[in-house]
A and B are shown apart, each in its own frame.
Chain A
Amino acid sequence: MKRTRILVAAALAATLALAGCGQEGAPGAEGSGYEPTVAQNVEVAGSPTFAAMKQRGRVIVGVKDDQPGLGFRDATTGQFTGFDIDIARMVAGGLGFSPDQIDYKVVPSAAREDVIERGEVDYYVGTYTINDKRKQRVGFAGPYYTAGQGLLVRADDNAITGPQTLQGKKVCSVTGSTPIQRVRDQNLTEAANIVEFQTYTQCVDQLINNQVDAVTTDDAILLGYASQNPEQLKVVGEKFSSEPYGIGLPKNDTALRTKVNDLLQAAIDDGTWKTIYDGTLGKSGTQAEPPTIDRY
């Protein structure tokens, strides 16, 4: 009996010791300080989605929660922050909903089309690249930002300067994502050097621990990580693709799509877009030009 107790205690101590060597609290992104203006008496004629929002009195927005600077949930406070989140707030404000009338729903990439089709979210803002295949299932307002594939490397690494310098280097990205497919298809590095994890955070972790040499995906996502940890990480090279981010909406709700496009256009014209950018992604010291809205 006594022996078991000692064993249990030893096991507990070992577990606690193991748990203790996790990362110290990573610096979370603070709020950007952006406060949306809430429009009064908004009507969007002929939009079933908007009618449902009105009736509910709340708006449900699909977002990401693991991309610092874009869509990120602080583990301790539960607050959502980032560029995508502020764009979502701006749109909600334009539709007549204040930030405290927003319910955020975290949706993984693989489920985005399904969730929008089933109407579980009113609209989706989360590094959602517009492409023709997706347009068959959902509607896109925007683009509200144009990202491009970039490379994140360790700050002390000067060997990698762009996509042509990846030969023999281990490159990490999220399983099956477009950027890693591009690396594979263009043979930017050997097949054996391609590493795929389920989240960018895991890739960044492996990068810091020297297990991989570069993380590749849209530069916006990488800038978020770099601005979180500038001593250890940096983004290098020119963008080598174009990823226009759109706001995902139900496919046939043209009225709402037009309205959201109008709101984005207005935000670009009156400087709100720039305010949002500077308060979030701009903290990494980069400049960006607002994109041209594509009304199809």
Chain B
Amino acid sequence: MNVLLDNADVYWRAILGTVGLFVVSAIGSLILGTLIAGLRVSPVPVLRTFGSLYVTLLRNTPLTLVLFFFAFAYPRLELVEFSFFTLACIGLTLYTAAFVCEIVRSGINTVPVGQAEAARALGFTFTQTLGQIVLPQAVRAVVPPMTNIQIALLKNTTIASGFAVFQLGSVYSVLSERGYNVMIGLLWIAAIFVVLVVPLTLLQRRLDAKWGVAR
């Protein structure tokens, strides 16, 4: 308990960092992932190819490398200057979006083709069909895997500790410098993560109950 109380300032700063990274990247990846899923099911071949390439590239790259790229390689390109926090958010968003895209796409595949055909027969455009008919039904089917990915994202934020963003993954180095027992410090971090994941789990339950489809 001492380890936690004596270093409450560090833990608090770390929790804010982790939650900040998570919230920004979660929202970003949900939006971007859905857009790319839209590309992958669109009638335009170029867009479909782009979507597949994006998913293949990002899913096959370790997250550490993605973040490494944004922390060390991107600044050398001297394009737009971002803070390291922003760069970490961009990295996490791009990486997670690839997984979100595949989940949304599998949700789209659960919607019978007849639905889309009927929409088209009624004169809906592709965007309208996707946005008003298909996606609302698709999203219901993928709440559990989507929550999974977001929980994974929450824990993936710790990888940013190597890249100048202070969050729960960086706490141990401060503790060791201050001479506290790192082992106990890490146990507290694990406990904090459990607490952080609980709301996501509860959210999943609520949504499941609310949107449950009678089959």
Please report A residues at the B interface, Cβ cutoff 8 Å. Answer: 18, 109-114, 131, 133-134, 136-137, 172, 174-178, 181, 192, 195-198, 202, 205-206, 209, 211
Find chain A residues with CB under 8 A from B171 CB: 176
Q: Could you tell me the dominant secondary structure of chain B's interface residues?
A: helix
Residues of B within 8 A of A134 (CB): 179
Going nearest first, the 7 A-B pairs with the smallest beta carbon separation are: A176-B174, A133-B179, A110-B176, A176-B173, A175-B173, A198-B162, A175-B170
With both beta carbons as reference points, the residue of chain B lying nearest to A172 in the complex is identified as: B164
Asked if A209 and B76 make an inter-chain contact with CB atoms under 8 angstroms apart, the answer reads yes
- Are A177 and B173 interface neighbours, CB within 8 A? yes
* Chain B 168-187 interface 0/1 with A at a Cβ cutoff of 8 Å (1 = within): 00111111111100110000
B84 within 8 A of A: yes
- Of chain A, the residue at the smallest CB distance from B172 is A110
Which B positions have Cβ atoms within 8 angstroms of A? 10, 72-73, 75-76, 83-84, 161-164, 166, 170-179, 182-183
Cα distance, A172 to B72, chains bound together (Å) = 14
- Asked if B75 and A175 sit within 8 Å, CB to CB, the answer is no
Whether the pair A196, B164 counts as a contact (CB closer than 8 A) is yes
Cα–Cα distance between A112 and B176 once the two chains are bound (Å): 9
Tell me the total A-B contact number using a CB cutoff of 8 A.
61
Give the residues in chain A near B178, CB-CB below 8 Å.
133
- How long is the Cα–Cα vector from A205 to B76 in the complex, in angstroms? 11
Contact B75 A209 (CB under 8 A): yes
On whether the beta carbons of B75 and A109 are closer than 8 Å, the reply is no
Known A176-B173, A176-B174, A211-B75; judge A137-B166 contact (CB<8 A): no
Interface centre among A131, A177, A196, A209 (most CB of B within 10 A): A196
Assuming the contacts A114-B182, A134-B179, asked whether A175 and B76 have C-beta atoms less than 8 A apart, the reply is no
Bound-complex Cα distance A177 to B177 (A):
6
- Nearest A-chain residue to B179, judged by Cβ: A133
B173 touches A195 (CB 8 A): no
Chain A nearest CB from B35 CB (Å) reads 23
A197–B164 CB distance below 8 A: yes
Nearest CB to that of A212 among chain B residues?
B164
15 contacts between A and B (CB under 8 A): A18-B73, A109-B173, A110-B182, A111-B176, A112-B176, A113-B179, A172-B164, A174-B173, A175-B166, A176-B175, A181-B177, A196-B164, A196-B166, A196-B170, A205-B72
Q: Give 4 new A-B contacts, CB below 8 A, not counting A113-B179, A174-B173.
A: A176-B174, A195-B84, A196-B164, A209-B75
Is A206's CB under 8 angstroms from B75's CB? yes
Query: Is A195 a contact of B164 with CB atoms below 8 Å?
Result: yes
Residues of B within 8 A of A209 (CB): 75-76
Q: Is the CB of B164 within 8 A of A178?
A: no
Q: What's the nearest-Cβ distance from chain A to residue B4, in Å?
A: 16
Closest to A132 in B: B179
The CA-CA distance from A172 to B163 in the complex, in Å, is 11
Residues of chain A lying within 8 A (CB to CB) of residue B83? 192
**B169, closest chain A residue (CB):** A175
Q: For A172, what are the chain B residues with a Cβ–Cβ distance below 8 Å?
A: 164
Please determine whether B76 and A178 come into contact, CB atoms closer than 8 angstroms: no
Taking a contact as CB atoms under 8 Å apart, the answer to whether B177 and A109 are in contact is: yes
Residues of B contacting A196 with CB < 8 Å?
164, 166, 170
**Residue among A111, A136, A197 making CB contact with B179, cutoff 8 Å:** A136
List the B side residues contacting A192 at CB < 8 Å.
83
**Cα of A197 to Cα of B166 in the assembled complex, Å:** 9
